[in-house]
Structure 1
Amino acid sequence: MDAPKAADPDALLSEDALEQNARLLMTVLDDFGIEGKIVQVRPGPVVTLYELEPAPGVKSARVIGLADDIARSMSAISARVAVIPGRNAIGIELPNSVREMVPLSALLASRPFENSNARLPLILGKDIGGGPVIADLASMPHLLVAGTTGSGKSVGLNAMILSLLYRMPPERCKLIMVDPKMLELSIYDDIPHLLTPVVTEPKKAVVALKWAVREMEERYRAMSKIGVRNLAAYNKRVAEARENDETIKRKVQIGFDKDTGQPLYEEQEFDFEPLPMIVIVIDEMADLMLVAGKDVEAVVQRLAQMARAAGIHLIMATQRPSVDVITGTIKANFPTRISFQVTSKIDSRTILGEQGAEQLLGMGDMLYMAGGGRITRVHGAFVSDAEVERVVEHLKKQAAPSYMEDVTEEPSEGFDSPFIPGPSGDSGESDASLYDKAVDVVLRDRRVSTSYIQRRLRIGYNRAASLIEEMEDQSVISAPNHAGKREILVPPRDDELMPFKKPRSGPKFSFSPCPDRIGMHGFDERVFTWRAIWWRHCFLHWDPWPALMPWPRIVTQSQANRLHS
């Protein structure tokens, strides 16, 4: 990579300039009736933080609500105002007139990165004071990244990946990259860290995520056999056994003695290999949720909840942080999040739980929320495409990739993990059989809706909706009207004049519009729909008598026989 460049002297603010800006800011606050004093000024590479100690009785919400007015009065692009945790101070961040670029090469050569004890170090950038911000993906344990187009999200993702490649050899860290856009991550193809070529098809991405779940379960079984609780302890135990030329053994009960009833044990020998950590990078989550939302959400939830101990970690990025992409389930399992610039306060609340990301400056400016909920402003590291290409070419010369074909191939027996529900919980019946049953239900009950088919056939929403569409194509039912209702186009059979159903118990009922017409319809043990019989009678046998009656009479079979006689 390129050698780090010296800081631009024009980007550094002098003491006089900082003091002048602080006095101007106090004048602006006085104009809006905010009393207090500036206690500290902390210049950074992109913004300068002014710490305001408000006077007693000044509400923080009032100062935060003046962010746009402060930016206008200070002739700034934007201003971010937030309470400084743990102190009686409110931070006001104003952009510098000249931005200082934060090169990734300078952070890679910094002492904090070299001395970092992080198992999976990620370089994020510099904080307000200009210090390096290095996070540990292994302790996060998963990362959610959001940002609109042009916010620097892809560059920040490249900086994180390169920081992993610089520190972790292929035998200790493997990568699975998912790039539905086919542009951002395809440059990393054929590096030795990859378990499979960069996945660009959403359906194959779902298969790769399901493979990760199976791999997680296999690792849990292996760790339970030697009695360890996480991947680090597992690799340590395997390394010690190899160093001492020792075979890992475990006493396992195989049954009971027939004569004494005492349990029988035997020793099993295990020959385990060290397992690498796996990092799954998804560049655009919105495309996956659009193609296979239920599948992706279920698999991501499973990985986010349990994959930490197995050494599998997720980095998910999206440029559309809406609630249909970042669902409540996904958000609850990703406590560590990064938000680059977004378009609205709603998007900021979706990703971070509070506003502020809409006030960022773009080009790598981000808000980093660690697991505890504390938010830090970070200026992302910049890495050019040429630098990424040089690093990738260097890695390709070191070793060839060792791909695993089953990562993106569906297993022959199907994926039936008991821990991951299918998208709809459907049974294994054929489509033709289900379609016939659905048509029978609709014609028999004279009711049609997706939810009704779901309940009667015990299938999922997607499959029930497909059956409804197929019945519409076959002209069994009509298209939905303006209210979403459908009509049944196939008339009922003679033995299915509306739903004749046998009563569960008690006397048999018959429905008649008037006493003198009872015998015309006969009496069946089946119960007729009384409204249908009423209108049918009025249509076929019109006379003034039924028109005067508001509703048909309901009589028992014995009463009807007496009236008829």
Structure 2
Amino acid sequence: MTQLLADYHGATADSAEDADWLRQVESLCKGALQQFQLHSKLLASVLTPNAALLKFQGSANLTVEQVLKRRSEFLTTHKLNVISVRAEPGVVTIAIARKNRRVLHLPEVWKTWSPACPQGNHDLLIAVREDDSSHLFLSPKSNAPHTLIAGSTGSGKSVLMQNIILGIACTNTADQAKITLVDPKFGVDYFAFEGLPHLQGGIIDGQQAAIAALEAMVGEMNRRYAVLKENKVSNIFDLNKKPNPTERLPFLWLIHDEFAEWMMTPDYAEAVSDVVGRLGVKARAAGISLVFAAQRPDANVMPMQLRANLGNRLVLRVDGEGTSEIALGEKGAERLLGKGHLAAKLEGEQNIVFGQVPFVDNESLAQFVASLQ
């Protein structure tokens, strides 16, 4: 894998034309605020892969609510597509969609990632943050143990799932991490991973097999607690650091794509809700993480108990405000730009984090998987 990254030379960069566009947007946005009789002192601006982030001095005459109220006028009158408006101490940041977005490729982003993983890695690089271009990680150790992913067609949901699976496999040996992959679509997005040594039991595409895999996680969690007790440690991270434990335990990931389709079946919905409820927060210490993904995680397929236990939310563009409120906890994900534009609500982060998921093409995906076999 190291050689694959070293050989990659396809990184993209912003052009002089992009810099000119940023200056035009600064001028247009200041003019729009002045026309709306709102405070318009620009403090800073930055160009991200998806947007121009314009930081204005906050005041009683420039608030998030006042800008959002004018969002349609920004678009129709001033040709500015306001993606989001965020409050910071003394600052209101307005994100304006880019005319030409910059594609981030996975090898380009991974070149700057050097995880330390002698006992395995649990911090997965999933995106580049929009505010400062730093790495955004998903960690069942530092964040909540379980995760919900939502995104409609064209949002980049499959690419995010591929990033997660590759992140696990490329930074852990098959003895350090195991993946159980469930996909009602017969694994059409995951054929490239079929030979991965971390993958347990192939790709599961039947309900009964999926229920059995979920229930096996509960049994394994209980067994692991007995191992932790025997070794006088409180979690598998400390267990695996011990010089002579009774056994070393791999981290277990259960990744379930398109779960909403099967949640329409009452028996399956009951089994999933029961298993997720029993795992709950106890799974973290046992080294078990669930990742559930759906295009439309509506209320009828997402009981409150299930929602409460999937504490991390990785939300790409969704179809409407209602889906955004269920998946993200608030409106706004319906305004994301698609193709990997992400809003993340992670346990441990004060606010929603916006970012861009790196794109991985089929050729790179095949090369990464081949290097692990």
**What is the TM-score normalised by the length of structure 2?**
0.90
Residue identity opposite 1:390 in structure 2: Q
Residue number in structure 1 paired with 2:78: 74
Residue identity opposite 2:316 in structure 1: F
1:300 and 2:276 matched? yes
Residue identity opposite 1:65 in structure 2: K
Equivalent in 121, 132, 135 of residue 132 of structure 1: 135
1:115 Cα deviation after fit: 4.6
Bigger radius of gyration among the two: 1
Distance in structure 2 (CA, Å) of the matches to 1:227 and 1:189: 37
Equivalent in 69, 94, 97 of residue 95 of structure 1: 97
Distance in structure 1 (CA, Å) of the matches to 2:17 and 2:181: 39
1:288 Cα deviation after fit: 2.9
Q: Is the 8 Å Cα contact of residues 67 and 81 (structure 1) preserved in structure 2?
A: no
Deviations 1:501-521 (A, max 9, x none): xxxxxxxxxxxxxxxxxxxxx
Residue number in structure 2 paired with 1:265: none
Q: Is the 8 Å Cα contact of residues 368 and 375 (structure 1) preserved in structure 2?
A: yes
Structure with more contact order per residue of length (Cα contacts < 8 Å, sep ≥ 6): 2
Moved runs in structure 1, 4+ residues, more than 6 A?
none
Secondary structure of the structure 2 residue equivalent to 1:13: helix
Equivalent in 218, 229, 241 of residue 244 of structure 2: 241
Unaligned runs of 5+ in 2: none
1:278 and 2:252 matched? yes
Evaluate the alpha carbon distance shift between residue 9 and residue 47 of structure 1 in structure 2; reply closer, same or farther with a 3 A threshold: closer
Deviations 1:528-552 (A, max 9, x none): xxxxxxxxxxxxxxxxxxxxxxxxx
Q: Is the 8 Å Cα contact of residues 125 and 379 (structure 1) preserved in structure 2?
A: yes
Evaluate the alpha carbon distance shift between residue 305 and residue 121 of structure 1 in structure 2; reply closer, same or farther with a 3 A threshold: closer
Q: Is the 8 Å Cα contact of residues 140 and 284 (structure 2) preserved in structure 1?
A: no
Residue identity opposite 1:52 in structure 2: F
Secondary structure of the structure 2 residue equivalent to 1:302: helix
Q: Is the 8 Å Cα contact of residues 366 and 378 (structure 1) preserved in structure 2?
A: yes
Q: Is the 8 Å Cα contact of residues 102 and 125 (structure 1) preserved in structure 2?
A: no
1:355 and 2:323 matched? no
Aligned pairs (5 A) from 1:36-435? 36-76=40-80, 78-85=81-88, 87-110=89-112, 113-115=113-115, 119-128=121-130, 129-140=132-143, 141-182=145-186, 183-237=188-242, 240-241=243-244, 272-291=246-265, 292-371=268-347, 372-396=349-373
1:327 Cα deviation after fit: 2.4
Residue identity opposite 1:61 in structure 2: E
Unaligned runs of 5+ in 1: 243-271, 397-565
Distance in structure 2 (CA, Å) of the matches to 1:278 and 1:12: 47
Distance in structure 2 (CA, Å) of the matches to 1:378 and 1:156: 12
Secondary structure of the structure 2 residue equivalent to 1:195: strand
RMSD: 2.1
Percent of aligned pairs sharing the same letter = 27
Greater mean deviation of Cα atoms: 160-169 or 147-156: 160-169
Secondary structure of the structure 2 residue equivalent to 1:36: coil
**What is the TM-score normalised by the length of structure 1?**
0.61
Deviations 1:157-204 (A, max 9, x none): 101211221111101111111111111224322321122111011221
Distance in structure 1 (CA, Å) of the matches to 2:17 and 2:308: 41
Deviations 1:227-270 (A, max 9, x none): 21101122233xx227xxxxxxxxxxxxxxxxxxxxxxxxxxxx
Aligned pairs (5 A) from 1:432-443? none
Evaluate the alpha carbon distance shift between residue 327 and residue 82 of structure 1 in structure 2; reply closer, same or farther with a 3 A threshold: farther
Residue identity opposite 2:260 in structure 1: A
Distance in structure 2 (CA, Å) of the matches to 1:10 and 1:373: 33
